[in-house]
Structure 1
């Protein structure tokens, strides 16, 4: 058998010759010629066959005729080839007119036969020098979207097939008769064109990833080798045998095109040569992206699947840009779209500002693969486009602006000021706009005595004024002024500010606590600042904060937010590097503390947004751009745990850089942001909303009382509606008139703490959320209400409490009054205690319902004593509430049961179907559908509980698999289901790659979804069908056989999946408790026999037996861990 180099040389000689090959096209398809060339230039690979993807119409023999002599579409008599003839073929998007013409001509000249319309995607076969090289190529292909890629002939000829499943095949003509209409044929053509576009995007992504992940390191080796050779220095980095395969490599062809010029390049200085090599690599990647960018005509400037931020991009001093790096971000729909290139410039600092600092991408990869302290949330939130009316939406096309919350005519609105952009010629803005987030109306906010236009300033609301600090008026003018917009009179004024000298600056960050505005960092011309100031808005006096502890480094484009008596500073950039650190400043001790080991939060970013809500910091966007660029990152400041939550269900094309994200109630309103794209103009975002309620409901129990800082709400008379209890269900709470202190969410925590210190908080009643989450009502005592309404009047002496003297009490009350609350009398529920057990509540309520309905009391025996929970669904045991009498009570029964069990949906368990796919037969009794989002061991499992089985009894085994040390390993899961064990291997165990086999369509749908929402889809290959056919061979370090009652039918498949040197099997089985030893002996003997039959002389030992649960009386679910190794 010829060697790899001999086979590669023969293939390359064939490609270089003028003779046509045996394919229909006679050679490599033009759309992928450059990709084929790049792969063949690599010493580890060469291509054996390929197709760029094509739309075709193929003529086959009729199903019952066999092959006959027919006329082709040209009208000429011809003998049909064995298998059929081509009627139409295009490797470019199909034209409807040509397709219709070819079909009509075929019909007029043919009497029988079958005509099939097809779309076939890109496919590529590559031979690899080593199994390791093959594995690397598969991972690259899978991450680019070719998830059906795999390896065959492992150990002999390592052939990688790069492929995906976006194909189409539809019969359209039979025996001369149209099976579809012309309109449907046009639809098929358009559908095929869309598939071709998706195919092209994946191919381009694969090309870029191949250059980034595989080719670039080899080119660097080549450059260093040639440099060493030019100085006659020995080098072992790249053997001469491999170097010969790089003759006329891309490095030479892109740089000079001839050997003479290459030799001159090799003789230049070593440092210059390294820079030249790095520049060439960037040019190659840029050209690939620009080609895609021009083809799409900027249809999706901010969208790409799994892109990377390039480093060290050029920049110039043109103000108003945001990005100076080639980059790509993932669209909110999470579907792969086209690549984009974004360049820009701002100032000297901007020229480096978006260059991705060395190691940031590696940091992200390490963090995403490690356990760390990252808590993978897995849920997703919907982002909805905000329809704008009134003023043109182009007025919101800006970045580096400010946005604060105000209330106008009872509607929650955003007040936007300044920034760069505008509807006509882009410039710095000095106008104010109001966006009504209820109606979507956008209108100009007319003011008097407006300050000069600016961008990159900060704005916060204090009392009923918006305070603007600093910014940049033009490239040479930084501002350090303080401008105040009175929201009552709509007029600007400029207070005389005293105190410490405050340097002019832009791209700084600010947060408000009470009457104080804290400002950190920013830029002053070319200087990066690290100073820390506080502005008191009562005295209009600056003070430099004398802080101690882990003081943050100087930076700009960072974020600052306040929660309670702490400030949180995150991210930013200086002249050289980006930061991913979190610093916490305690206002009580004036001490900075750097928090470390924060998982995904530690990934550097700047020009992002950070919003505080309850105990969470909500971070969105920023640079460097990653493939999670449109995900929200929730950081719990109490537990110091981060959770990444994807945004879905919105066809939004956004580039989340220098935008604003403002909290209105429980909705995050994102406005503006974008980038300047060289040669294409500017890219601006459309406004959109994100409802945070689903996440907050899942992760917060005390959101009613913990406030956030930085938001404003006007005072108004409140009409508070009493909370309605569930219809048909009894209530154990009642309401009476009570005094409350109504505070906006901004000041809720500060106000609550003050009330507790003064002992003014009425502990017998419950706090209540008002106005859709914008305000919180705290119950207060009558003394407190009287004092706050009429301070100083008779009978309202200043209270003194334990631990508080008169002066301290006055200070606490001053802070309370400064929070801007309002005293109101309203209905408020008593804080009666619920029964400890939900079953007690359930039984008491159902007894009352039975009495009211006149039904027999013995029906209470059908009430469940226990139940299972999957997400927000409570699953009752089989046999619960099956009597027909329950139907007479009506839907109120189920709503009350759901309320009592703390769930939103109710279902009844049923035996798993006795089929090969083991489908669930669960019945939903209350709620819309069976789709659940269930968290277990920190992993999110999403599936339709009425179609897919889920056993909570296996939780310990999933946790055990999660604890396996399989970092860097390849795992094969032969019975993947919805990802029961696949997800623990990937998320917790750190597996490098997992091959999953599954044949249940419902489970496959859930599996793919779970891989996506847990962020591990790039490290998993889903193989649909019978594992005895689809399972890979010779690749696995360990194989999981998680099928009950027995996985014996695939033991041989598992052995073949292991690497030649062996590995580990996790074998599941239902075994009678008295027969465990006999079964283990049988397992070992069977595996020895199977391995011998496959030519593998292995030593086989069971090194652990896990008893998972009782499956039935005396039947136990066990797992045997088996080690197989060469003797």
Structure 2
């Protein structure tokens, strides 16, 4: 028998050759080629067979004359195989049109035979050198979701089969006759596509876990080798025209090359070192020639004198780095171009040289004339260096770090963590620093149990904690962990995060909204990601966001910011191109929208910063580097226009790439950033501040100030005041100045409650969100303003209100003062809104439509007085708008109704079908289809409302099931539907495992989808069919019987799910029933007696008691939907 190494060599030679193998596909499937290569590079393993997963239609009995077989992605005929052949096969999601076409062609050309629709998941056979290696691989596969993986041939040939059970097989054609409808065939295709997506996620997870858990030290050395060569953090931030930088995308891939070659590359010979030295010399000589050329060219502009002075000043600095002179030359060039553009070019050659500056200059010229850009109004902002004391400023020499705002001793400060750089030998950092932006003091922030060093991570502050997600520890290790720094105790902890699998990544982007942190994209070890996740920091659970619309392409080094209930994603890069697109995600509808015609914002850039303040996105820096690299770009999200604002600071010598820009009040604090160059070392930036108030006050109705904690008053004049006085008075939207209390958003709720109790809240004006959501401005009365500014002075006695005595008033005010903030006098819009019922708006508009159409006014009686909402669909009661007269108005009627009800689609309710599957008969009146995405109790339910029923009246019962303490329990849901009670058990109740039984195919499709999008598919087993056949026995701690009008037919099934020699203690049943209100006691007695009889028949002498009766809702007159909670225990 050949040895393991001989067999592996033979397999690898076969994979390397161009000849086809014996499989039907003839070779390794493209989606898993990288994974196969990784495994075969490991000395303990080699693959013997594999399939990435496929959707196929298989002819099990092909006739002698053959069939017209279609390969879905090539259109080529496949060779006929023994036992049957493929009519259709795809390793990618299937197309319904292609599937139907192939089936129809088969029927027209074949007279007999059986056609079977299949979905087969990923399967892999791996031979292992030792039994121990085989066991390790099985553990890795099972943890990735391939729970049916196992070992065969132990002791001889250790073969591991990596597999799972998410398969599908349905006969669809027999003897030329269709066994299913075309609609059902489309449903099968959609179901198979969902299985394929789940299969892909598990395969990706297995690939990542294999590298994390099993990859040998020999493979790890490959990436460490190139990292050691650079002696700097690799960077791909600058284009070749700027600097010769190491291209991070060229880091060594484990999936290429072979072991022998890898081992040969571990050492750098002397010849290689000579070549590197020669390259450095050539770059220095080229730079000298560039300096000479620039001096000669600039003489004609009159700028050389000033430029030489600036260059000499820079060359005299302590660092004396060549990189500084590079930027000095660039600054001179910029000065010359600016001068020429102001005074005009002296000759045609000068004009031509200016026009050939770079590609982005022409782009900017074209964009400046578009509608998306606001012309400069002469406004500029000053940038001031932040003088740092305490720790050496070199500790801020880093990039790809994180910076968040915290408050220490009443001062706004930055907490910096991680990154690449440092004062000595540059490396990935794992320490934390605090920079006081008022005093400039830099201190080390001592913490305990710190996580491993990292860069290119994200960090946000939630309550009193900083949450760090992902990053990169070294060139071969991407991180997907969640680390939490408690800002009160200065200690790190690492919560156990559940839910959807979150792939390790770096260079991703994140934004926080409430308790949720949204994360998009980034880079994995060998791929660019385009996935979208949300982390709930209350439950520490990941969920994959099921979004729709103009979904952004996969990217890294992009930015993400939140304003209100919308997320804004801008820029970034993939493996080939840079992006200049802006995508807006609405949290209320889960819809992406790409914004067009954005002027300068459309210029591609990546590794920039984007900060939200009020209604603006403030964008700074990024690649590619241009002569506007230090300008701020303000984008107004309300008006969708952008404006570039220069920074005025002659000595601002920075390279704004992979920096951080953090908003503190109305100041932008920029820290770190830079790039690495082979020839000239690393370029790091010094920290600086930008005061945004001059721009904001020119472009807003509210006067913003940069105050700190503690009450004090501020009064400033604005351009709005001057404009109003010139016109003879303020506009109709504003009255005289009003006093506001500006509070930090974390204290807004406490402060507002106190103001209401004291009757200090000015109800005539609108509260306003300031500083990009950092602060909230509450309008207050003049008495409140006087008291808070000068408590105890004349005329400012302590107020007493109804229900508050002197002592309680003092307590409320103490709470208010403790919340911090400042009293500011500013213009604030009057609250002219009056609550108007949607039904009033609807009726008024429809009356007008009826008059215009000449229809009888009594049709108004058919308008609904109430309606139900599922996602973006408004569901009208049965009988609403049923008259044929409504059709004569046309589609404008439905469009108006949808707008009035704040929805996108309109449907009309109908009674649930009196069938065993209780199908919905809902009719869509306006909109494309019935698929809805409805969020209830924090759980996302997705389903086709025209096929699956959903009762909003059961919301209280679903909430009650969510509150059940079933952590660690196994639950059986005998009538699962789309997951009405299954999802609360899993997401809120903490059930360890739920078995779900369901026989409605439409509900099963929605159920599987809901498990996936809520991130709990790994803790649920879906059993398709009649629960009297499929339900498990002897496994459950509790059983849910949520069928109406009665679940009595499955009471025995429920007892069997509890009854077992392994569970003599019994468990709990939740029994649903429709009962006449006067017969509740009789039904409960009957329930107990029936359960006693059924359990006795199974040999169980149980004590059975109803310990709670829940009255859910009225189902019909005098008919109530109730739920009996029954406890069964051993006597």
**TM-score range, shorter-chain basis?**
0.3 to 0.5
SS of equivalent residue, structure 1 residue 196: helix
Query: Aligned pair in 2 of structure 1 residues 725, 324: CA closer, same or farther (>3 Å)?
Result: closer
Deviation at 1:1002, TM superposition (A): 2.6
Deviation at 1:925, TM superposition (A): 2.3
Query: Aligned pair in 2 of structure 1 residues 562, 1102: CA closer, same or farther (>3 Å)?
Result: closer
Comparing 955-964 and 399-408, the one that deviates more: 399-408
CA contact 1:400–1:419 (8 Å) conserved in 2: yes
Deviation at 1:145, TM superposition (A): 3.8
CA contact 1:530–1:555 (8 Å) conserved in 2: yes
CA contact 1:1100–1:1123 (8 Å) conserved in 2: yes
Query: Aligned pair in 2 of structure 1 residues 80, 245: CA closer, same or farther (>3 Å)?
Result: farther
SS of equivalent residue, structure 1 residue 256: coil
Deviation at 1:877, TM superposition (A): 0.7
SS of equivalent residue, structure 2 residue 311: coil
2:397 equivalent in structure 1: 397
Query: Aligned pair in 2 of structure 1 residues 533, 889: CA closer, same or farther (>3 Å)?
Result: closer
Deviation at 1:969, TM superposition (A): 0.9
CA contact 1:388–1:441 (8 Å) conserved in 2: yes
SS of equivalent residue, structure 1 residue 759: coil
SS of equivalent residue, structure 2 residue 720: coil
Deviation at 1:50, TM superposition (A): 13
Deviation at 1:1042, TM superposition (A): 1.0
Deviation at 1:136, TM superposition (A): 16
Deviation at 1:890, TM superposition (A): 3.2
SS of equivalent residue, structure 1 residue 978: coil
Comparing 578-587 and 865-874, the one that deviates more: 578-587
Comparing 503-512 and 370-379, the one that deviates more: 370-379
CA contact 1:143–1:1018 (8 Å) conserved in 2: no
Query: Aligned pair in 2 of structure 1 residues 825, 619: CA closer, same or farther (>3 Å)?
Result: closer
Deviation at 1:400, TM superposition (A): 2.7
CA contact 2:236–2:247 (8 Å) conserved in 1: no
Q: Distance in 1 between matches of 2:393 and 2:329?
A: 23
Alignment of 1:327-726 (within 5 A): 400=400
Q: Deviations over 1:665-695 (max 9, x none)?
A: 9999999999999999999999999999999
1:154 equivalent in structure 2: 154
Q: Distance in 1 between matches of 2:291 and 2:112?
A: 44
Deviation at 1:1044, TM superposition (A): 1.3
Deviation at 1:878, TM superposition (A): 0.6
Deviation at 1:465, TM superposition (A): 32
Q: Deviations over 1:25-57 (max 9, x none)?
A: 999999999999999999999999999989999
The size of the alignment, in residue pairs, is 1127
Deviation at 1:931, TM superposition (A): 2.7
CA contact 2:1105–2:1127 (8 Å) conserved in 1: yes
CA contact 2:522–2:530 (8 Å) conserved in 1: yes
Deviation at 1:217, TM superposition (A): 21
Query: Aligned pair in 2 of structure 1 residues 615, 1085: CA closer, same or farther (>3 Å)?
Result: farther
Comparing 925-934 and 71-80, the one that deviates more: 71-80
Deviation at 1:19, TM superposition (A): 30
Query: Aligned pair in 2 of structure 1 residues 802, 128: CA closer, same or farther (>3 Å)?
Result: same
Comparing 1007-1016 and 496-505, the one that deviates more: 496-505
Q: Deviations over 1:509-556 (max 9, x none)?
A: 999999999999999999999999999999999999999999999999
1:1102 and 2:1106 matched: yes
Deviation at 1:985, TM superposition (A): 0.8
Q: Deviations over 1:968-998 (max 9, x none)?
A: 1111212212211111111211111222222
CA contact 2:249–2:575 (8 Å) conserved in 1: no
Deviation at 1:903, TM superposition (A): 2.9
Deviation at 1:1067, TM superposition (A): 1.5
SS of equivalent residue, structure 2 residue 108: helix
Comparing 971-980 and 720-729, the one that deviates more: 720-729
1:911 equivalent in structure 2: 911
Q: Distance in 1 between matches of 2:881 and 2:748?
A: 44
Deviation at 1:279, TM superposition (A): 40
Comparing 742-751 and 1024-1033, the one that deviates more: 742-751
1:1084 equivalent in structure 2: 1088
Query: Aligned pair in 2 of structure 1 residues 958, 84: CA closer, same or farther (>3 Å)?
Result: same
Q: Distance in 2 between matches of 1:995 and 1:327?
A: 65
Gap runs ≥5 in structure 1: none
CA contact 2:307–2:332 (8 Å) conserved in 1: no
Q: Distance in 2 between matches of 1:891 and 1:1109?
A: 36
Gap runs ≥5 in structure 2: none
- Superposition TM-score, scaled by structure 2 size: 0.42
Q: Distance in 1 between matches of 2:1089 and 2:308?
A: 50
Query: Aligned pair in 2 of structure 1 residues 296, 350: CA closer, same or farther (>3 Å)?
Result: closer
Q: Deviations over 1:637-690 (max 9, x none)?
A: 999999999999999999999797999999999999999999999999999999
Deviation at 1:103, TM superposition (A): 18
Q: Distance in 2 between matches of 1:58 and 1:503?
A: 35
Comparing 590-599 and 1008-1017, the one that deviates more: 590-599
Deviation at 1:884, TM superposition (A): 2.0
Deviation at 1:472, TM superposition (A): 18
Structure of greater relative contact order (alpha carbons < 8 Å, 6+ residues apart): 1
Comparing 157-166 and 1093-1102, the one that deviates more: 157-166
1:891 equivalent in structure 2: 891
Deviation at 1:901, TM superposition (A): 2.6
Deviation at 1:1094, TM superposition (A): 3.9
Query: Aligned pair in 2 of structure 1 residues 1087, 961: CA closer, same or farther (>3 Å)?
Result: same
Deviation at 1:913, TM superposition (A): 1.9
Alignment of 1:177-188 (within 5 A): none
Deviation at 1:834, TM superposition (A): 3.5
Comparing 115-124 and 859-868, the one that deviates more: 115-124
Q: Distance in 2 between matches of 1:1083 and 1:969?
A: 25
Q: Distance in 2 between matches of 1:815 and 1:329?
A: 58
Query: Aligned pair in 2 of structure 1 residues 356, 704: CA closer, same or farther (>3 Å)?
Result: same
CA contact 1:910–1:923 (8 Å) conserved in 2: yes
Query: Aligned pair in 2 of structure 1 residues 1101, 882: CA closer, same or farther (>3 Å)?
Result: same
Q: Deviations over 1:333-359 (max 9, x none)?
A: 999999999999999999999999999
Query: Aligned pair in 2 of structure 1 residues 914, 702: CA closer, same or farther (>3 Å)?
Result: farther
Comparing 212-221 and 533-542, the one that deviates more: 533-542
User: How big is the alpha-carbon RMSD for the aligned residues of Structure 1 and Structure 2?
Assistant: 23.0
CA contact 1:376–1:1014 (8 Å) conserved in 2: no
SS of equivalent residue, structure 2 residue 1091: helix
SS of equivalent residue, structure 2 residue 38: helix
Query: Aligned pair in 2 of structure 1 residues 815, 475: CA closer, same or farther (>3 Å)?
Result: farther
Q: Distance in 2 between matches of 1:532 and 1:49?
A: 33
Deviation at 1:1071, TM superposition (A): 2.2
Q: Distance in 2 between matches of 1:569 and 1:628?
A: 22
Comparing 1053-1062 and 690-699, the one that deviates more: 690-699
Q: Distance in 1 between matches of 2:10 and 2:614?
A: 67
Q: Deviations over 1:911-967 (max 9, x none)?
A: 112222222222222333333232222222222222221101111111110111101
CA contact 2:304–2:332 (8 Å) conserved in 1: no
Deviation at 1:294, TM superposition (A): 47
SS of equivalent residue, structure 2 residue 301: coil
Comparing 443-452 and 512-521, the one that deviates more: 443-452
Deviation at 1:908, TM superposition (A): 1.3
Query: Aligned pair in 2 of structure 1 residues 721, 495: CA closer, same or farther (>3 Å)?
Result: farther
Q: Deviations over 1:869-911 (max 9, x none)?
A: 2223221111111112223333333333333333333221111
Q: Distance in 2 between matches of 1:794 and 1:699?
A: 38
Q: 1:1123 aligns with which of 1117, 1120, 1127?
A: 1127
2:967 equivalent in structure 1: 967
Comparing 1025-1034 and 629-638, the one that deviates more: 629-638
Query: Aligned pair in 2 of structure 1 residues 1092, 646: CA closer, same or farther (>3 Å)?
Result: farther
Q: Distance in 2 between matches of 1:766 and 1:421?
A: 47
Query: Aligned pair in 2 of structure 1 residues 46, 322: CA closer, same or farther (>3 Å)?
Result: farther
Comparing 146-155 and 1089-1098, the one that deviates more: 146-155
CA contact 2:235–2:246 (8 Å) conserved in 1: no
CA contact 1:151–1:161 (8 Å) conserved in 2: yes
Q: Distance in 1 between matches of 2:474 and 2:995?
A: 55
Q: Deviations over 1:607-656 (max 9, x none)?
A: 99996566999999999999999999999999999999999999999999
SS of equivalent residue, structure 1 residue 482: strand
CA contact 2:736–2:827 (8 Å) conserved in 1: yes
- Superposition TM-score, scaled by structure 1 size: 0.42
2:1077 equivalent in structure 1: 1073
CA contact 1:1061–1:1125 (8 Å) conserved in 2: yes
Q: Deviations over 1:275-312 (max 9, x none)?
A: 99999999999999999999999999999999999999
Deviation at 1:1027, TM superposition (A): 2.7
Query: Aligned pair in 2 of structure 1 residues 312, 3: CA closer, same or farther (>3 Å)?
Result: farther
Q: Distance in 2 between matches of 1:1063 and 1:490?
A: 44
Query: Aligned pair in 2 of structure 1 residues 419, 172: CA closer, same or farther (>3 Å)?
Result: same
